[in-house]
Structure 1
C-alpha cells in the first residue's frame, strides 16, 4: 500500500504529495455525523486531517430508544423524548459550527420499531434533520468502513454490537465483503424471559447460524461498539495493562474468556467504579460478554482488536475520494500536525532524508514510524522545556491516531522523548516502556537521538545539512560536514553526536 499511496516522486520521496490541502480533502474539514442508535444518540464533528479524523466535537446521550422494543415493538416513550431533545440540540450546534456536509443515520431500533417512520417524520419536522434508516447489512458496511479508516490493511471479520442488533462483515484488501445482521443486541436480549439459561440458548443458536453464513477462518475480529469497548476496558483493568487507549487494544481469546468469567463475579456498580462508564452502558456489558464468549467459541479467532472507529467514521470514509482513502492515516495526521504546529513546517522530510542512512532498509511498519517521528519531531516545542520530553511521549501514546497499534505508540513516544532528552531515567513511564521489546526500545532511542542531532542543522537547503554514513559491521558513524555550514557544528552538536554514537555503540569520524 505504501508505495502506491506515496507517489514516490522526486520532490516528495517516500512521503508522497500532501493531500490535506487538496480541495477534495478540504471539503471534509468540517463534517458532521449523527448516529441514532438503540441505546445512544451521538453527534460527532470531524475536522482537520480527514484521512485520520480529528474530533472537533463529540457529544453522546444515552437515550435508550430501543429499551422497550421486545415488549412493545415500539420505541421507548422516554427514550424517544430524550432522543428528540438531543437531536434538536445537535441541529443547533451544527448550524453554529457551520457543519457541511452533515449526515444522520438511524439503526436497529428505528429500523425495527412500529413507530420508526413516525419518529423520523417528527425529527425532520422538529429539527430539519433527515434520518437515513440503514438496513442491517448497510449498517455492517458502514461500520466496516470505519475499521478501514483506522486500519487500511485490516484483514478479518468486523463485529459491531449495538443495543438491538449485532452485525458481522468480512474485511480485507480494502474491500467490505459478505455481511450479515442479527438481533443479538444486549438491550434486546436483556428483556428475555427465562433468564440467563434461555438467553444463552438464543445466543448460541444465533451465532451458530451466523457461523454457517460466514464459514471462513478469521484470524482477527475487529470489535466495534460501546459494549465491546467497555468490555475491553475491563480486560485492561483485570490484566493491569498500563496504556489506557482502547483503539487498537488487542486481546487473545483466552484473555477475553478469563475477563468474561471475572465480570460474572462483579455487580454493575463495581464495574462502573472500575471503568467510569454510565449505568446504562454497564448494565449491558455482562450480556454483551455472553455474546462475545459464544462468538469466540465458534469463530476461534487468534486475536480480537478493539476499534474506536465505527459507523460514524464509516460515514466520513464514505465521502472520501479514492486517492484519500488509499493514504496512510498515521502519516497524513502527522503531516497535518507538522503543518499546523512545527516551527519549520516541511523540515521533517529533510530530517528523514538526513538520518535515513542510519536505518537502511527496514520493515514497512518501522519505516512508517520513522517517517511519522520525523514529521512530529518539533510539533510540541511550545511545551515548557522541563516537561517537553514527557509531553512528547504523552502526545504520541495517547493521541487519537489511526493506523498505530500500541507497540507503535510506545515506539513513537520513546523516539520523541529522546528527541528532547538523552535519558529515560526519572520519567513516569517505566510500566509503558515494558510494552516494547528491549531491541525496539533501543531502536526508538537511536531514532530520537538521531533527530535530536539532526535538528541542529535545520537549514533552508537540505544539501547543506551534511551527510551521515553508518557502517554497522565496523561500528563507525561518519558525519561529513558541508563547507558552507561547518559553523553549525559546535559544542552542543558534538555532544548530541556523541550521545547518538554511544547508543549505536559506534566510533565517530567527522570530516
Structure 2
C-alpha cells in the first residue's frame, strides 16, 4: 500500500517530507561565525528532522585576545575569511545558496567587526548578520526545540566569548540573557584562579537573579560542554558515544570535573580525540559548569547537539511543522528513500500494535519508528543486516530520541533480522535497558520479522494478531490466501515470537 494513501496514522499524523513547505527547506545552508569556530552546515531531507548533508568546521579563534586588544585575532580573521571563501564555493556546488550567515559575540564586540563583515562580503559575496546575545540565546533555544518538541527548562549555550541562558516553557522561548562567560574571554580575567572563580560566581549569581533557579532541566549547548560530556563518558566507560540527549548527573559531573583537574590535558585529549584548540577551553568551561550547577541546582542535565544552526532552520518552519515528531519524520523519510516497499511500515505497525496496546505513548512511538525502519537495511549483506540496523539506530543523527530509546530501537531492529542477541558485540549497550525493556524490544523485533513474511498484500489483508496476556495466549488469524503463505519459515518465526512473549499459540482460519 502506498504511503500517501494510508489515511490512519493514529497519533503520529501524516508524513511531511512530501509537503511543499517541507521541500522548500530540503537543502538549507547555514554558517555560524563564532568566537572560537566557523562552521558550515547544509541540512537536507525531511524538514522537521533534517539530515546533515554537509558539516565542516574550522577552529579559527576569532575572539582570542579580544578582551585585551578589543579587536579580532588577526590570524583568526585570516583563517575565518579563507574558510568563508571556501564555504561560499561549496554552497554553490551543493545548490545550498543563499547561505544564511550569522556572527556572534566576537564580531559584535570587536571594534573591527564591521570592517571584517565588509571584507567578507567584498571577498565572498556572503552577507554576515551580527546577532546580539539575546537573539543568540533565542536561536539556540529553538535549536533545542528542533530535537525536543515541547521541551521545558533552561538552555545554556556556551561559545568562545559569551554564554547565553534561555527559558523554555510550553514549547516557547521565554526570558533570555547573555553573559561574558565564554572560555576565550575568561582568559583575560585578572587575579589568577581566585579572581577567575570570584568573577564566574558573581556573573552566574546575577544570571540566576534574572532567570530564577526553579528550572528542573538544564540543556547544555556548545562545543565546550560537549567536550566535557565526552570526558564524562570516557571516565565512566559509557558504552554509547552519541552526545545528543546524553544525560548527566550532578554527582557524575562533579567527579568528572575533579578528574579533569587531576589529569594532564594532553592525556585527556588523546583519550577522546578532542582537538587541541577545543581542549584548551575545557578548564575554563569546567569552572563555569561547576558554578552553574551549584547555583541553579538542576534535577536533570542533558547535552544537546542542536543549537544555533538548527535554531536557524527551525526559524524557517511554519508552526504546524514545528509540532511534528522529529523521530517519526526522520524514520518516514528513511523508509521512503531506502525501503523496498515504502508505506509498508505503517501496515506493519498496525499488525504488531495488538502486542503493545497497553503500552504508554513513548513505547508506541518507538514501535512506530522501528516499523518504519524495519526494511531500510535490506541492501546490506544478510550476515550483517542486524548489525547495520543496530548501528544505524544507535548512532544516527536523530532528534527526539534518548539513549535508552536508541538502544531499544536498535535491539528491536537487530531481532528483526536475528533471533538471538547472545554474543553480540553490542552487549555493553544492552545495559542501558532493564530486563523488561530488553524483552519488549525482542518481542517487537520478532513480531516485525514474522509480519514481514506477509508483505505481498500487506498483513492487514492477510493476517492479524490477538494477544491475551492474562491467558498467556497469542492468536493468529489467517485468511485463505495467508494460509498459502504461512510456510515453514513463517511458522518458525511465529513460534519464536510466542516464545519471546512466553505464551501458547492458537491459529484460527478466517474468511478473506
- How does the TM-score come out when normalised to structure 2? 0.97
Q: Which residue of the other structure, out of 204, 209, 213, is the alignment partner of 2:206?
A: 209
- 1:142 aligns with 139
- Superposed, 1:3-402 pairs within 5 Å as 10-402=7-399
Q: 1:361: how far off?
A: 2.6
SS in 2 for 1:425: coil
CA distance in 2, matches of 1:468, 1:242: 36
CA distance in 2, matches of 1:488, 1:253: 55
- Quickly say closer, same or farther: Cα 1:290–1:372, change in 2 above 3 A: same
Q: 1:32: how far off?
A: 0.2
Q: 1:216: how far off?
A: 4.2
153-162 or 262-271, which deviates more: 262-271
Q: Is the 8 A contact 2:12 2:325 kept in 1?
A: no
Q: Is the 8 A contact 1:157 1:221 kept in 2?
A: yes
For structure 1, list consecutive stretches of 5 or more residues without a partner in the other structure: 1-8
Q: What are the superposed Cα offsets for residues 410-436 of structure 1, whole Å, 9 maximum, x if unpaired?
A: 000000000001110121011100110
Q: Does the alignment pair 1:426 with 2:423?
A: yes
Q: 1:275: how far off?
A: 1.5
Q: Is the 8 A contact 2:451 2:459 kept in 1?
A: no
Q: 1:268: how far off?
A: 2.1
- 1:4 aligns with none
Q: Is the 8 A contact 1:158 1:223 kept in 2?
A: yes
CA distance in 1, matches of 2:128, 2:192: 35
- 2:454 aligns with 457
Q: Is the 8 A contact 1:464 1:484 kept in 2?
A: no
- 1:3 aligns with none
Q: 1:10: how far off?
A: 4.7
14-23 or 126-135, which deviates more: 14-23
Q: 1:362: how far off?
A: 1.5
CA distance in 1, matches of 2:164, 2:360: 35
Q: Does the alignment pair 1:467 with 2:464?
A: yes
Tell me how many residue pairs correspond in the alignment. Answer: 503
SS in 1 for 2:383: coil
Q: Is the 8 A contact 1:34 1:312 kept in 2?
A: yes
CA distance in 2, matches of 1:248, 1:465: 40
CA distance in 2, matches of 1:67, 1:461: 61
Q: 1:485: how far off?
A: 2.4
CA distance in 2, matches of 1:12, 1:265: 54
- 2:489 aligns with 492
Q: 1:203: how far off?
A: 0.2
367-376 or 212-221, which deviates more: 212-221
Q: 1:257: how far off?
A: 1.1
CA distance in 2, matches of 1:222, 1:509: 50
Q: Which residue of the other structure, out of 469, 476, 481, is the alignment partner of 2:473?
A: 476
459-468 or 116-125, which deviates more: 459-468
Q: What are the superposed Cα offsets for residues 319-357 of structure 1, whole Å, 9 maximum, x if unpaired?
A: 112111110000000000000000110000000111111
Q: 1:462: how far off?
A: 4.8
SS in 2 for 1:386: helix
CA distance in 2, matches of 1:381, 1:190: 53
- 1:446 aligns with 443
Q: Is the 8 A contact 2:215 2:296 kept in 1?
A: yes
CA distance in 2, matches of 1:141, 1:182: 14
SS in 2 for 1:45: strand
Q: 1:218: how far off?
A: 1.1
Q: Is the 8 A contact 2:462 2:481 kept in 1?
A: no
CA distance in 2, matches of 1:305, 1:422: 34
Q: Is the 8 A contact 1:352 1:374 kept in 2?
A: yes
SS in 2 for 1:177: strand
Q: Is the 8 A contact 1:15 1:349 kept in 2?
A: no
- Quickly say closer, same or farther: Cα 1:460–1:14, change in 2 above 3 A: farther
Q: 1:155: how far off?
A: 1.1
SS in 2 for 1:331: helix
SS in 2 for 1:500: helix
CA distance in 2, matches of 1:273, 1:99: 36
CA distance in 2, matches of 1:64, 1:423: 50
SS in 1 for 2:295: helix
Q: 1:466: how far off?
A: 1.2
SS in 2 for 1:167: strand
Q: What are the superposed Cα offsets for residues 413-460 of structure 1, whole Å, 9 maximum, x if unpaired?
A: 000000001110121011100110111000000000000000001133
CA distance in 1, matches of 2:23, 2:7: 25
CA distance in 1, matches of 2:152, 2:77: 38
